[in-house]
Amino acid sequence: MLWVDKYRPKSLDKMLVHEEVAKNLKKLVTEQDCPHLLFYGPSGSGKKTLIMAVLRQMFGAGAEKVKLENKTWKINAGSRTIDLELTMLSSTHHVELNPSDAGFQDRYIVQEIIKEMAKNRPIDTKGKKGYKVLVLNEVDKLSREAQHSLRRTMEKYSASCRLILCCNSSSKVTEAVRSRCLNVRINAPKEDEIISVLEFIGKKEGLQLPPGFAARIAAQSNRSLRRAILSFETCRVQQYPFTNNQVILPMDWEQYISEIASDIMQEQSPKRLFLVRGKLYELLINCIPPVIILKRLLSELLKKLDAELKHEVCHWAAYYEHRMRLGQKAIFHIEAFVAKFMSIYKAFLIATFG
């Protein structure tokens, strides 16, 4: 088991970060009826951990007995029936799923599946909550229609069903949904918080941490706790005992993107563009989300770029990121960005060096 999972706090009391939020949530859950919740914040900040802890607080240990279900839903949508296959985690008390996995058919998921689930109201025995909890991940990736029908579902079935929504950016969730939930923002943990978590894990694992080592990992983690713990474990696997000058490796795909960036800086030609395309394909094969590729590529390029070009390059990156969301095939847009960058950079080189 990875340390990320192993040292995940199970209950609200044991939270190492966001203790304040945890305390409030506990009060909320134990003392009153729970409203719909919307957790948002950057990735690796502990949203899911909090959600699991809340569930445990609500339903006790029963919420931890989950099984993985790969269920095919037959949805009758007017003239035709749609088969949707969706993976979900469920216990007797809650169901967790990623509706955005269904792609553009997500609205059916939201409408039908949630409706059906919400209808099966658990029997209200003593000491049990009279509702089920539905955990929806990546709500911000849902389409407008899906979010719209989500709102209806929330109103209609609020008696028997509580929704816990989880997303990175609340700005992509419609106002209507947001106003029906209790919004909980989970900040990215501060670096010293991360350090303290790492030290805690180190102590539990019985590891000797040289001074400043945890700080370096934390600095590289981009304030993502998950990231920090993962690279901590990676370092442990690479070399133990730790040395002070130990390299903390970035993820392999990040390395690969920086390779691509240096390829782009080296030469600007259609041929090179073709080579870059091949490398981008490889990232896509490994399911690295295109948005993340573009973001990372931009930051790698910016590192090496003259200050006067930065603004323009950022503009085009934003432009093509938007395009990518509108479009279907990400490679078209990433490639267009790369080509634009090449063209800008080449013009710049010619202007400065003749």
Q: Which of 252, 308, 351, 352 binds other proteins (CB under 8 A)?
A: 252
Q: Is 351 in the site for other proteins (CB under 8 A)?
A: no
Q: Which of 105, 153, 170, 258 binds other proteins (CB under 8 A)?
A: 105
Q: Which of 39, 268, 301, 317 binds other proteins (CB under 8 A)?
A: 268
Single out the segment in contact with other proteins by CB under 8 A; choices: 11-19, 24-32, 122-130, 319-327. Answer: 319-327
Residue 161 has φ and ψ, to the nearest 5°, of -145, 135
Least CB distance from residue 324 to other proteins, whole Å? 8
Q: Is 71 in the site for other proteins (CB under 8 A)?
A: no
Q: Which of 60, 130, 241, 327 binds other proteins (CB under 8 A)?
A: 327
**Total interface residues for other proteins by CB under 8 A:** 82
Residues of span 180-219 touching other proteins by CB under 8 A: none
End-to-end CA distance of the chain: 57
Q: Is 258 in the site for other proteins (CB under 8 A)?
A: no
261 contact partners, CB below 8 Å, separation of at least 6 = 297, 300, 301, 303, 304
Single out the segment in contact with other proteins by CB under 8 A; choices: 18-26, 205-213, 230-238, 306-314. Answer: 230-238
Q: Pairing mode, if any, of strands 80-90 and 94-97? A: antiparallel
Least CB distance from residue 22 to other proteins, whole Å? 17
> At CA 192, angle to CA 235 and CA 190, rounded to 5?
100
Q: Is 343 in the site for other proteins (CB under 8 A)?
A: yes
- Among candidate residues 131, 190, 188, the one with its CA nearest the CA of residue 164: 131
Q: Which of 30, 43, 179, 262 binds other proteins (CB under 8 A)?
A: 43
Q: Is 281 in the site for other proteins (CB under 8 A)?
A: yes
- 166 beta partners: 39
Least CB distance from residue 159 to other proteins, whole Å? 26
Residues of span 286-305 touching other proteins by CB under 8 A: 286-289, 292
Alpha carbon distance 348, 206 (integer Å): 54
Segments in the chain forming alpha helices (H): 3-6, 19-31, 47-59, 106-108, 114-119, 144-156, 175-179, 191-205, 213-220, 225-238, 252-266, 270-285, 290-303, 307-326, 330-353
Single out the segment in contact with other proteins by CB under 8 A; choices: 122-130, 196-204, 302-310, 318-326. Answer: 318-326
Contact of 297 with 339, CB cutoff 8 Å: no
Least CB distance from residue 107 to other proteins, whole Å? 7
Token pair 């419609």: residue: 174
Q: Is 104 in the site for other proteins (CB under 8 A)?
A: yes
Least CB distance from residue 189 to other proteins, whole Å? 16
81 CB neighbour count, 10 Å cutoff: 10
287 contact partners, CB below 8 Å, separation of at least 6 = none
Alpha carbon distance 264, 344 (integer Å): 12
Which residue, 2 or 318, is less far from other proteins as judged by CB? 2
Which residue, 63 or 177, is less far from other proteins as judged by CB? 63
